[in-house]
Amino acid sequence: MSDIRKVVEIPINMGPAHPATHGVLRLRLKLEGEIVREVDPVIGYLHRGIEKLAESLTYPQFIPYTDRLDYAGSMLNNLGYVKAVEELLGIEVPERAEYLRVMTTELSRIASHLVWLSAWGLDLGAMAPFFYCFREREEILNIFEMLCGARITFSYMRIGGVSKDMPEGFADRLQNFLDIFPEKLSEYETILTENEIFLARTVGVGILPKEDAIDYGVTGPIARASGLEYDTRKIEPYSIYDRFDFRIPVEHGCDVYSRYLIRVEEMKQSMKIVQQALDKIPEGEIMAKVPKKIKPEPGRVYSRVEGSKGELGFLIISDGSDKPYRLRIRSPAYSNVAALPVMCENAKIADVVATVGSLDICLGEMDR
Amino acid sequence: MSEELLNEFPHVVKSEDGLLLVEADQIIEVCTFLKNKGFDFLEAISGADFEEYLEVIYNIASYSKPDRVMLTVRISKDNPILPTVTSLWHGANWHEREAYDMFGIKFKGHPKLARILLPDSWDGYPLLKSYPLDKEQKVELEDETGVEICQI
Amino acid sequence: MDREYVTDKIRRSMGRRILTDEEVSGWWIIGGIVTFGLLFLLLFLKLIHRRNEHFKRQKMLEEQIIELVGIDLKDKKMLADLKAIHNEGYESGEFKDLSFLRIIPAIITLGLYIEWRLTKDLMIHAERQRRFFSCYLGRELEDTTPQRPTGKYLGLGVVTLGLFGIYWTNLIIKDSNEHFKDQWKLEDLLPEAGMEIDEGVDPDFYKNIILTTVDKFLNWGRTCSVWPMAFGTACCAMEMMATFASRNDMDRYGMIFRNSPRQADVLIVAGTITQKMAPRLRRLYDQMAEPKYVIAMGACAMTGGPFVNSYSVLKGVDKVIPVDIYLPGCPPRPEALLNAFLQLQERMKEERTVTKKFERWILKDRKEVVT
Ligand code: SF4
């Protein structure tokens, strides 16, 4: 009798070409009926060897490759890299460039969260947010295009500053966007935040307790949704973040729904920062005095910024030549996905989709 | 923090060229000490290849304060073995696997030391300086059942 | 752009001539008379179609020749001349398709309008073409297409209440047939001569009105519902998503994302393919149902792009799967992807699935027919 009721463990393969894995993540699941007993993420399907390539490129030549790390919000990677090199060289960035950097990175963060929201909505079966979010994202991309001519791969930041100043009409357009965006954001919230179906699929799903978050080195919105008040912008303010008034949202739900709330709130905070920066931006230079040939002294530096997915770090070892001796990228998604087995333990298989989506992974950055 | 470490482990931790050098076999003790002091956030474990030796770099920070430490462990190239810190941080698992994948550094006591980013059939450790960029790899374009589906 | 590639393209346009330059038989006239003019309507449609197709082919051929001359850049004057002659085609309206709706004025004028138009167009076309090829070959070619006095014919037609049109139509058929034959001979004279068609294919199959009509119908259906399989791996996937999202909205072309290869017609390879991923890509491709197409989107999918020096990146997806459309850019803009789709549709229109099947069935001894 007992044999009949015994459930057999079924291995199931999810990915690497699966719509809900947002790229080429692959999960090996062990199922017992509907319940997931074991999750084993297999990564590396987009391992492009960026770290090795960096060793054969000069410092400025590597900037375009940072665009291709986290392609949803490339500006943040740009900033992370140039900041590390500037720390290595000891360069002071002009005031105006810093403001431009803050504005573009925060807009990039909004764009990245919008992509996340749309793709995750699709995963959960909500088609409408996809179209809404991309409408606003296109506007942000237009603003970027005005600034540097590219939509996704900007290479806007340079070692010692930024490549272009604000063109004519830029401020108006940005202001216009900032004016309409809150209204649009509330539109998404009406679709999702109190949606019965949405709540049923997200509340209490994909729990990551605070201790586990610390254990796995999780950062970004996921850590903040697990009750960790950790944000590099506040804990170790880089650039000019200490001049702005914004707050770090923290939730204690530890679940997928909290991550959603965090990201929506973050978009609002980012908007606040952009508004302040736009109001206060001073006149002046946009490039510091940088030697023609960038040759840092031998040494090493680890510099971190708050990316849209979490803490993005660059470890650069210089041997005194014009190429980095070793460049290591600490990508937030790498650590975040490592914690996936904890989140999916004993969950239903449909919840795995919701959980993976909520991580906001970006394979380019994860596999490097 | 570095003074504290130097005082606590006078024979294990050395300061050299602004680096904190730690003996390979004592890394767990040092990390435990750090963790108890509030350095609970393991940012990254990275390898680096210097011609004579390999380096493993531990970036440890804290979730509540802005301090961080960078520990460096030097190991010989012929016998790159050091103990794992997965018992302290589960997050170290993947970082150590990556160091193994890219440099061939072996971590004693690691739960599953296998390649993570590259295919299992890969030959060589690509981030070593001796690995040429254009090295031809024999890529097995087969699926898991062993049926060959294409050839490059 | 290399020379060989353009030469290949020229050969392909020449190879298309068995499809575009159909010979129309004089029996149509008899049939038209017997059916009291009903068959004439069909005939006119056919003639219009033939005119459009032939002129379009000529336009492509000329463009490619100009491109070829531009690559060599030996003779700047010739290039300018060729361009000038080519542009005349735009001005005279030759390269513009004659709409099938013109059949309505043709009915009203008892066919005279369409006859007049076709004769005039052919004469302009032949004249310009002769000059073009003369310039290209560097020697004066003789004028073979007879000049018809259109005004006089028109008058005659009006006087005889359209009956003269019967004779006139006959002349048009004859003239065009002659023109095509002459042109074929001329094309064989070109230095790039040599047609790229499926070897061993019997051209008769490609002229069979039933098979080609069925094919055209199928192609129409296919081009109107191209379902792509989303295979986005890296940054290019962002632009792919943007193409399908609200601003660019691919749905209006009948393109809806599918996530399963079994339901898809087109595989968009958007992003870097690593050696670890390559077998999976091949497998997905194998799972798709025929007919299938591949768009290699972005520099990475084409050649490896910025990562061409990397140890783990596949240097172009064409190493593992055949590619129909290469779309350069890093990443290409959504508009570029849209354009790639439109080009793919053009290509799909030339598909001859049924014909090929039929051929395979008839020519059983030939094991493999090039698909
Ligand atoms: S072509 Fe450029 S944008 Fe596209 S996947 Fe490759 S690196 Fe990314």
3-state per-residue secondary structure call for C178-213 = HHHHHHHHHHHHCCCCCCCCCCCCCHHHHCCHHHHH
Hey, which residues does A30 pair with through a beta bridge? A11, A38
HSE toward the beta carbon, residue C350, CA cutoff 13 A: 17
Q: What is the pLDDT of residues A263-288, one digit of tens each?
A: 888 888 888 888 888 888 888 888 88
CA C212 – CA C209 distance, rounded (Å): 5
- C366 pLDDT exceeds 60? no
Q: What is the pLDDT of residues A65-104, one digit of tens each?
A: 888 888 888 888 888 899 888 888 888 888 888 888 888 9
Per-residue pLDDT, C200: 46
Task: From chain A, pick out residues whose CB is under 8 angstroms from the CB of B54.
Answer: none
Residue in this structure with the two tokens 């300018």, named with its chain if needed: C80
Per-residue pLDDT, C364: 59
**SS3 assignment, position B57:** strand
Band of residue C202 on the pLDDT scale cut at 50, 70, 90: low
Task: From chain A, pick out residues whose CB is under 8 angstroms from the CB of B49.
Answer: 326
Q: Which helix (H) or strand (E) holds C69?
A: helix C38-72
Task: From chain A, pick out residues whose CB is under 8 angstroms from the CB of B59.
Answer: 302, 313, 315, 330
Q: Which of A160, A118, A121, A158 has the alpha carbon at shortest distance from A140? A: A118
Q: Which of B97, C313, B125 has the alpha carbon at shortest distance from A46? A: C313
The answer to whether residues A155 and A67 touch, using CB atoms and an 8 Å cutoff, is yes
Instruction: Indicate the residue of A216, A325, A367 with minimum beta-carbon distance to B91.
Output: A216
Per-residue pLDDT, B141: 56
Q: What is the pLDDT of residues A245-262, one digit of tens each?
A: 888 888 888 888 888 888
Q: Do C234 and A153 touch (CB under 8 A)?
A: no
Q: How far does the centroid of ligand 1 lie from the alpha carbon of residue A54, in Å?
A: 17
Tokens of C242: 């943007």
- Residues in contact with ligand 1 by the CB-under-6-Å rule are A 68, 153; C 234-236, 271-272, 298-300, 305-306, 330-331
- C197 pLDDT exceeds 70? no
Task: Mean pLDDT check: name the lowest of A280-294, B124-138, C283-297.
Answer: B124-138
DSSP state of C310: -
The answer to whether residues C53 and C70 touch, using CB atoms and an 8 Å cutoff, is no
Per-residue pLDDT, B143: 53
- A46 pLDDT exceeds 60? yes
The nearest CA of chain A is from the CA of B50 a distance in Å of 9
Task: Mean pLDDT check: name the lowest of C58-67, C192-201, C358-367.
Answer: C192-201
Whose CA is closest to atom 8 on ligand 1?
C235
- B103 pLDDT exceeds 70? yes
Please give the residue of chain C at the shortest CA–CA distance from B138. C275
Whose CA is closest to atom 5 on ligand 1?
C271
Q: Which of A133, A135, A106 has the alpha carbon at shortest distance from A117? A: A133
Q: Judge whether B136 is closer than 8 Å to chain C, CB to CB.
A: no
CA C99 – CA B33 distance, rounded (Å): 84
Instruction: Indicate the residue of C245, C307, C311 with minimum beta-carbon distance to A131.
Output: C245
Q: What is the pLDDT of residues A182-238, one digit of tens each?
A: 888 888 888 778 888 888 888 888 888 888 888 888 888 888 888 888 888 888 888
Task: From chain C, pick out residues whose CB is under 8 angstroms from the CB of A49.
Answer: 307, 310-313
Subunits in contact with chain C (3 or more CB pairs closer than 8 Å): A, B
Q: How far does the centroid of ligand 1 lie from the alpha carbon of residue C269, in Å?
A: 11
Q: Do C282 and B137 touch (CB under 8 A)?
A: no
Q: Pick from A65, A68, A368 the residue to mutate for probing ligand 1's pocket: most ligand atoms within 8 Å of its CB.
A: A68
CA A344 – CA A359 distance, rounded (Å): 12
Q: How far does the centroid of ligand 1 lie from the alpha carbon of residue C245, in Å?
A: 19
Beta strands in C215-351 (DSSP E): 228-232, 266-270, 293-297, 325-327
The answer to whether residues C369 and C291 touch, using CB atoms and an 8 Å cutoff, is no
Disruptive mutation site among A26, A47, A140 for chain C (greatest number of C CBs within 10 Å): A47
Q: Which of B95, B81, B3, B115 has the alpha carbon at shortest distance from B41? A: B95
Task: Mean pLDDT check: name the lowest of A207-216, C30-39, C332-341.
Answer: C30-39
Subunits in contact with chain B (3 or more CB pairs closer than 8 Å): A, C
**How would you classify the pairing of strands C228-232 and C266-270?**
parallel
**SS3 assignment, position C297:** strand
Note the pTM of the prediction, 2 decimals. Answer: 0.76
Q: What is the residue-averaged pLDDT of chain C?
A: 79
Task: From chain B, pick out residues whose CB is under 8 angstroms from the CB of C312.
Answer: 118, 126
Q: Do C275 and B143 touch (CB under 8 A)?
A: no
Instruction: Indicate the residue of B126, B131, B150 with minimum beta-carbon distance to C282.
Output: B150
Please give the residue of chain A at the shortest CA–CA distance from C333. A151
Q: Do A315 and B59 touch (CB under 8 A)?
A: yes
- C358 pLDDT exceeds 80? no
Q: Pick from C309, C317, C330 the residue to mutate for probing ligand 1's pocket: most ligand atoms within 8 Å of its CB.
A: C330
Q: Do C310 and B133 touch (CB under 8 A)?
A: yes
- C264 pLDDT exceeds 70? yes
Most confident segment among A6-10, B57-61, C42-46? B57-61
